[in-house]
Amino acid sequence: FLDLEICRLKSCSLGKLDFCFHRVLRMENGEGPLTFMCGHQRICLCPPLFVGRIWLDNVHCSGLERTLAQCESNGFGVSDCKHSEDVGVVCSQRRIPGFKFISTLTNNVESLNVQVEDVRIRAISSQRKRVPMTEGYLEVKDGGKWRQICDLEWTEMNSRVICGMYGFPGEKRYNTKVYKLLAKRRKKNYWGFGVNCTGNEASLHGCKLGHKVELRGNATCEKGLPVVVNCVPGRAFAPSHAQGFSKAYRVEQPLVRLRGGANIGEGRVEVLKNGEWGTVCDDSWNLKAATVVCRELGFGSAKEALAGGKLGQGMGPVHMNEVKCSGFEKSLTECYFNRDALGCSHEEDAAVRCNVPAMDFQNRLRLSGGRNPFEGRVEVLAEKNGSLVWGTVCSDSWGTIEASVVCRQLGLGFANNAFQETWYWPGDMSADDVVMSGVRCSGTEMTLAQCLHHGKHLDCPRGGGRFAAGVSCSETAPDLVLNAQVVEHTTYLEDRPMYILQCANEEHCLSSSAATATSSSYRRLLRFSSQIHNNGLTDFRPRAAHHSWIWHECHRHYHSMEVFTHYDLLSLNGTKVAEGHKASFCLEDTQCEQGIEKRYECANFGQQGITVGCWDTYRHDIDCQWIDVTDVVPGDYIFQVVINPNYEVAESDYTNNIMKCRCRYDGHRIWMYNCYIGERLEITVEITGYNIIECDGHLSCSKPFCLWMTTF
């Protein structure tokens, strides 16, 4: 049924190939190869040279059928199709439901083939409303019936595996008195086997089958009770911080973090070393190592250990290679690894998808009226007059950051757009009333309710209805990252006469004192080049369409984004002393990685954007690629560049949009050093009278002193 072939054609680049079919770019000669863009590789799929009959046409399945023959169709052999319309499938690597156990009970003749359909934690009545549900009877579904497991051979390691499957990093003991009383009152239905886990399995699928249990009706498991598990939630999911798994969820100084993931509990793995975040090479990367990461961050065991930069590529160093974990480490940094990452590139960045607790997030929010499940008017479930009702969200101050929280809460990936008018999406009329206003999110929240908002004191002058907030979501997003080394190596000062800078002055690229400057005066400009990479999973495109771009007569070009980057010079305490900005008059693929074709160029009013795996270079010698430092006094400063500062275009990670450098200006020359992307560890330490203000390799101390901070 599946007949796909990778074609060796000139239009195709071979290498690391990945099947994903989100968008067809073109079909050559009607019957030729289909060309796709997948990540940053082009893939050609040749239609199979099949000459037999076409058996099925207009096939419609509900998804519950066991075979394709059970789906509705025109009937076998009834078709008006050609072989250019033959269909194919690409199957997911995710396993089908159910758990097949590794049997150790063999009689040297045949092995037992034992498989259960599902596993669940069934809470007792007093805890059924608790979110997340952390405690209850463990039951397996076998032969369509839920059955308990006898606890005579049950161990903490078994509970650890179960808790990990349900998104919890650890387990603890429970109150046996309650369950002993309940066991006397309830009829039990035991499963015929025990379970034997070592504790480092990602799910029951990797556990071994325990001893066979003799089923004798009410006399089964006479000396034991049904298995009960009690899990400890990560701090982010705990009802209160005091009950959280504090060791697994390090808030103050995390050594590991996830970046670029579309949903909660997934992302590219990054580790902190010597104050700098770096990635992990995917050599030897497996579920055990991924599970250590997940538990360390307060999630359960890992669902997937992803390789090949599947969740985006990082920047900077590769800190760890050939990671090998036992599965019981408290942190990934405790695992064995090779510090030598020679041969590893960011195309091999490791990532994880973790099991997370069922928090009922998706039942408190919905999208209504959209053309597909990924878009629509945002409606939230809120309490009104003592009852729960659906209502809309006020669109005042509604933006991409707020939309990203909605998409994450619904498990729909990244925000594609945030809408402040939704009259074209006819939602549920009974939900037109505004029930939430003044929403302001930081982007890290798991639910919209966690964002700042007005609470019960609503304030929405425009009202709901047609002005209700809306979103569109996407499973992939771009990710812009500035090359810090290029900035550091290309910085210089230039004194330029004012009469040459009239166009730049019109675009507000000079400081305010330029308004009164004479045409014969000079401005001192801090010039530099910027190289902006797209390390995401989809192309970066301006939000505004062609027809709405703004024409600037003086420079005679269009601006597709009025503010694409901010350039700031800050004092050491963070006060802004000079600023600049750059409009995106031309977003294009200046250069690309090997094997990737350029797709965007600005010539002849062409399409603008940055392709995945390509970068756009703004050279130091073009207008506005500077900060006007004419009025800046000599001293030490912080130079800062922020890409996409107004969040006009959605990205998978905004934390790497900021670059900072240390800067020293003596009135004649300037030195730029210690440039870095995103966050860097800064610690204030006092050692016998030496006050270390900053720990980033260049320390400001009250006395000459040197300290090297090593995280691990």
* DSSP secondary structure letters along 521-552: SEEEEEE--EEEEE-SSS-B--SS-GGGPEEE
Average pLDDT score over residue span 417-434: 86
Query: Which amino acid appears at position 575 of this protein?
Result: T
Question: Would you say residue 228 has pLDDT above 70?
Answer: yes
Closest CA to 534 of 570, 577, 588: 588
Both 369 and 220 in one domain: the answer is no
Residues 407 and 267 grouped into a single domain: no
Separation of alpha carbons 611 and 599, rounded Å: 7
Q: Tell me whether residue 695 is in a domain.
A: no
Across 342-346, 579-583, 644-648, the highest mean pLDDT is recorded for 644-648
Mean pLDDT, rounded, for 331-352: 89
Domain membership flag for residue 244: no
Burial of residue 70 (number of CB atoms within 10 Å: 0-12, 13-18, 19+): exposed
- Identify the three-state secondary structure at position 362: helix
Tokens of 396: 């005042």
Distance between CA atoms of residues 487 and 642, nearest Å: 13
With helix as H, strand as E and coil as C, how does 276-311 read?
A: EEEEEECCCCCHHHHHHHHHHCCCCCEEEEECCCCC
- Report the alpha-carbon angle 371-372-373, nearest 5: 135
Angle (CA) 676 413 163, round 5°: 95
Question: Which of 329, 355, 381 delimits the end of a domain?
Answer: 355
pLDDT at residue 2 tops 50 = no
Domain-located, residue 312: yes
Beta-strand relationship, 690-692 and 276-280: unpaired
Q: Are residues 491 and 639 in the same domain?
A: yes
Secondary structure of 229-284 in the HEC alphabet? Answer: EEEECCHHHCCCHHHCCCCCCCCCCCCEEEECCCCCCEEEEEEEECCEEEEEECCC
Identify the pLDDT of residue 601: 85
Q: How far is CA 31 from CA 2, 85, 156, in A?
A: 18, 9, 60
- Give residue 92's pLDDT: 59
Confidence of residue 192 (pLDDT cuts 50, 70, 90): confident
Please check whether residues 321 and 459 belong to one and the same domain.
no
Give, to the nearest 10 degrees, the angle between helix 287-296 and helix 156-165.
80
Per the structure, how many domains does the chain have?
5
DSSP structure string for 334-358: GSEEES--TT--GGGB-EEEE----
**What residues make up the domain containing 267?**
256-355
pTM confidence score: 0.74
- The CATH number linked to 380 is 3.10.250.10
Q: With helix as H, strand as E and coil as C, how does 471-486 read? A: EEEECCCCCEEECHHH
Q: What is the pLDDT of residue 96?
A: 56
Confidence bin at 456 (pLDDT 50/70/90): confident
9 and 142 both lie in a single domain: no
Instruction: Provide the 3-class DSSP secondary structure of residue 164.
Output: helix
CA 570/CA 436 separation, integer angstroms = 37
The pLDDT value given to residue 89: 82
pLDDT of 50: 66
Based on the domain organization, do 430 and 501 belong to the same domain?
no
Choose among 70, 337, 302: nearest CA to 203: 302
Structure confidence by residue, pLDDT tens digits, 287-328: 999 999 999 999 999 999 999 888 988 888 899 999 999 999
607 assigned to some structural domain: yes
How far is it, in rounded angstroms, from Cα 240 to Cα 244? 7
Whether pLDDT at 185 is above 90: no
Q: Residue 679: its pLDDT value, please?
A: 67
Going from the C-alpha of 103 to that of each of 99, 221, 227, 388, the distances in angstroms are 12, 21, 20, 50
Same structural domain, 614 and 642: yes
Same domain, 469 and 490: no
* Residue 516 or residue 96, greater confidence: 516
> What proportion of the chain, given as a percentage, has pLDDT over 90?
35
What's the average model confidence in pLDDT over 386-413? Answer: 91
Q: How confident is the model at residue 351 (pLDDT cuts 50, 70, 90)?
A: very high
**For 114-118, 214-218, 405-409, 679-683, which range has the lowest pLDDT when averaged over its residues?**
679-683
What pLDDT digit, counting tens, does each position of 614-628 carry? 999 989 988 888 999
pLDDT digits (tens, 9 = 90+) for 31-77: 444 444 444 444 444 444 567 888 899 999 988 787 888 899 888 88
Q: Do 658 and 509 have their domain in common?
A: yes
Classify residue 701: in a domain, yes or no.
Answer: no
Give the tens place of pLDDT for each residue, 519-553: 889 999 999 999 999 999 899 998 877 777 777 77
Indicate the residue among 442, 457, 474 that finishes a domain: 474
Q: Are 50 and 86 in contact (CB under 8 A)?
A: yes
CA distance 151 to 224: 6
- 5 and 134 share a domain? no
Which residue is listed with tokens 């004419």? 630
**Residue 541 and residue 449 share a domain:** no
Least confident of 92-106, 362-376, 444-458, 534-548: 92-106
Q: What DSSP line would sit under 589-612, residue for residue?
A: -SEE-TT-------TTT----B-T
Ramachandran angles phi, psi of 527, nearest 5°:
-100, 155
Q: In the predicted model, what is the mean pLDDT of residues 657-673?
A: 93
Asked if the model's pLDDT at residue 266 lies above 90, the reply is yes
Tell me the H-state helices in 356-434: 400-409
For residue 644, the Cα-to-chain-centroid distance in whole angstroms is 18
| Residue 696, in any domain of the structure | no
**According to the model, what pLDDT value does residue 359 have?**
87
- Across 46-60, 83-97, 182-196, least confident range: 83-97
- Alpha-carbon torsion, ordered 454, 457, 462, 464, to 10 deg: 80
Q: Work out the percent of the chain whose per-residue pLDDT is above 70.
A: 81
Confidence band, pLDDT 50/70/90 cuts, at residue 94: low
Q: 59-73, 82-96, 495-509: which range is least confident on average?
A: 82-96
* 667-695 mean pLDDT: 60
Whether the pLDDT of residue 23 is over 70: the answer is: no
Question: What average pLDDT does this structure show over 228-233?
Answer: 92
Q: What is the token pair recorded at 307?
A: 């390789």
Residue 705 forms part of a structural domain: no
- Is pLDDT of 696 > 80? no
Please check whether residues 587 and 549 belong to one and the same domain.
yes
Beta strand pairing status for 351-354 and 115-116? unpaired
Strand 318-324 vs strand 276-280: parallel, antiparallel, or unpaired?
parallel
Mean pLDDT lowest for which of 206-215, 490-499, 647-656?
A: 206-215
- What's the mean per-residue pLDDT of the chain? 80
Decide if 682 is inside a domain. no
Q: Domain boundary residue among 411, 441, 474? A: 474
pLDDT in the model for residue 13: 36
